């Protein structure tokens, strides 16, 4: 086998690029899961009294009074 510095560097670079590519695929999958969870939680939050109070307060240009509901 040829273990000259040039061949080693190219090999290490290929390994690094493959690892980076795999990491990006992993991040895309995680992002899909997080996006789905975020959508679900926002839909749930939009059903609360505090959400309605926040929107009303914003439209009326006043501070909201949240009750934890």
- C-alpha 69/C-alpha 62 separation (Å) is 19
pTM over 0.85: no
Mean pLDDT within 32-39: 91
- C-alpha 69/C-alpha 67 separation (Å) is 6
pLDDT for position 1: 63
Evaluate whether 64 touches 53 at the Cβ level (below 8 Å): yes
Six-digit token string for 60 = 């009326």
Name the residue with tokens 């690892």.
19
């Amino acid at each position: 086998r040829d273990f000259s510095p040039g061949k080693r560097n190219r090999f290490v670079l290929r390994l690094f690029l493959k690892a980076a590519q795999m990491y990006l695929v992993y991040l895309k999958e995680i992002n899909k899961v997080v996006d789905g969870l975020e959508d679900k939680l926002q839909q749930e939050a939009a059903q609360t009294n505090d959400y309605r109070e926040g929107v009303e307060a914003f439209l009326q240009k006043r501070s909201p009074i949240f009750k934890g509901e």
